[in-house]
Homo-oligomer: A and B are copies of this chain.
């Protein structure tokens, strides 16, 4: 059977699992009338937002697709469209499951913790499998049609460009979804808290608050739909880049190239099966540890993936000890220079080398999860230090939170550096690409853990708004606390994989450059000032982007505050409980604000590479333009990695420091320490859910636009 068809079947099995589990989720009890009405309002709001967001994105998408059609031809335009549509679809379906699972989780939590956990996690698993499955299907189908259908060579220019365009489509949607959703969710959250908790003194999720539905809508459109689009993009870019790099570097493989290019896809497919198996192990043990249940599922998946990847590799490579084609010089310039030290003298590499690279990727994933939990879990020093600092006030809470967020970048960076060194020693650049591929192969499971978060967050909100029993609320709270950590985990995972993928994308850039402009002597050395200029400008992007995201949330939240104040002033019945607030009005307002605010920052990574190339070319010649552009790509990951890691870990730590205090430490709810912790949580919100996570797609877009620019210049 054709290898791509196997991949397609594996991808379809993910969809089948999704459909099957969806039905089981939808069949569950939806609770009482109150709960259903609240859930319907959230559903309606989320639906309305996503429709408008997609309409806005479609406008930008059509312009970009037209440009691609004009500069690069119809195959690239179609690739772009497929990537964009499927990325959107992953978000759309994920959000739709999420807004239906929330109320059912509340209802299930009435029966018990295990029931609530099962329902919430299953709905998360639907999103997870959809993301991985759709991504795999998209790449495999395009690859199959172009190579087997049209009969192009596996490493032909058109195939490479189609894969790049596919990734571009996915990334462009993803940055809009991450940023738009992120602004929506945090504007609503911060706005609701400011008036509700601070001014009026009502608890979170109090139905008297007109912004409360918007807050719950935000969880679904930001943390669920936005995240799904982001991970879809990360998957497509990483696996796609590995395939492209294989095509560009392993030129000596001849007929074996097609199989070698499907290997990353097969690894992805095999890990879909192990992820599906893993989901069945997410069950509470005797210690009732929710996080423990999650870890059990992840660990089973990771462990099963080891033999699964081995089997797939042997299927493709046959003899694992045989050297895989390509001359050493093609693989990696650096490797042939290794004359001293422990270098393994890679000149071509074996299947075993590649296999150990994937193991490295799996270990990186595990370590990143563990480190993120350390920095955001309530059981460890960082979160507790923030909680303790809250005793001396708002200021010290924020200082300690910022210190933790800066520190939280250290261990992940060391892990990434270790991963780069080990996988490069094993198999050069291709080795790094395989480590990244193995990381992403677990995406189904990781997304499942993450998508669980907004469902439980909503479930708690619905329990509160519907006035359910304290015991139910305690259960949904317990489920929700874990969600804070799993949400941080996915972001750390996505950005760390971007750290590896960036090297692969940069290699694709330089290889492309050598192919398109064979005579051009581009000096990528750090001694070239235009390389430093590119690095500086690249490093600036995440800062500017972060500033725009944070400002947007502040501005939109200010509008929410004004709207809520107006509603209270115009309708005194709201607080008296005699009439209902106009939830839809607030949702509508946040929707408009979020869509308006997401456009300019999202275009930043699209336009910057193009501008930098043309300006530097004008000043210092095309070879320096290319050098600066290449350096820009590394600069953006270099600073983006730190900005994103610090923001997402810091935000998670602040959030859980508040939860830790609410659990009765340092004075508990209502104490001065708690008030300080609420401030920290508010600060962390746009950090961890708006600016931080949107850095990942931003890095990818910058890289992909550069690749497309090369193609367009050469055309």
Contacts and interface: CB of A to CB of B under 8 A. Distances in A.
Interface of A: 190, 193-194, 198, 333-334, 337-343, 389, 392-396, 398-400, 402-404, 406-407, 409-410, 413-414, 416-417, 420-421, 424-425, 429, 432, 499, 503, 506-507, 510, 521, 523-533, 535-537, 539-540, 543-544, 546-548, 550-551, 553-554, 557-558, 561, 616-625, 630-631, 634-635, 638-639, 641-642, 646, 678-679, 681-683, 686-687
Contact of A526 (B395, B404, B524): B524
A536 B638 contact: yes
Of A392, A416, A535, chain B has the most CB atoms within 10 Å of the CB of A392
B634 A543 contact: no
Contact of A543 (B527, B528, B536, B642): B642
Contacts of A683: 395, 398-399, 402
A399 B550 contact: yes
A550 B424 CA distance: 36
14 contacts: A341-B617, A342-B619, A389-B554, A392-B557, A396-B558, A399-B554, A403-B546, A406-B546, A407-B543, A410-B543, A413-B536, A499-B536, A525-B525, A639-B639
A635 B638 contact: yes
Question: Most chain-B CB neighbours within 10 Å: which of A333, A334, A507, A683?
Answer: A334
B543 A526 contact: no
B190 A537 contact: no
A343 B620 contact: yes
Given A334-B529, A622-B341, A557 B396 contact: yes
A69 B392 CA distance: 48
Nearest to A402: B550
Q: Indicate how many identical chains form the complex.
A: 2
A681 B425 CA distance: 48
Given A337-B521, A535-B638, A409 B540 contact: yes
A497 to B, nearest CB: 15
A119 to B, nearest CB: 33
B393 A679 contact: yes
A224 B392 CA distance: 28
Interface centre among A394, A425, A631, A646 (most CB of B within 10 A): A394
Contacts of A406: 543-544, 546-547, 550
Given A334-B620, A392-B558, A506-B526, 20 more contacts: A333-B528, A337-B523, A339-B621, A340-B622, A341-B622, A393-B679, A396-B557, A398-B682, A399-B553, A399-B554, A399-B683, A403-B546, A404-B547, A406-B547, A420-B533, A424-B529, A432-B529, A535-B535, A536-B638, A635-B638
A627 to B, nearest CB: 8
A625 B338 CA distance: 11
A524 B333 CA distance: 12
B624 A526 contact: no
A547 B510 CA distance: 36
A532 B507 CA distance: 12
B400 A620 contact: no
A5 B259 CA distance: 75
Given A537-B417, A546-B406, A618 B341 contact: yes
Contacts of A524: 525-527
> What 6 A-B pairs come out closest when comparing CB atoms?
A395-B682, A407-B547, A403-B550, A406-B547, A340-B621, A341-B621
Nearest to A386: B554
Given A526-B630, A547-B407, A642-B539, A620 B679 contact: no
Contacts of A334: 523, 527-530, 620, 624
B619 A425 contact: yes
B540 A399 contact: no
Given A394-B394, A421-B533, A523-B337, A399 B682 contact: yes
A524 B627 CA distance: 13
A395 B622 CA distance: 47
A506 B667 CA distance: 53
A159 B209 CA distance: 73
Contacts of A551: 400, 403, 407
A527 B511 CA distance: 10
A399 B407 CA distance: 20
A396 B191 CA distance: 10
Contacts of A413: 536-537, 539-540
A404 B395 CA distance: 18
Contacts of A393: 194, 198, 679, 682
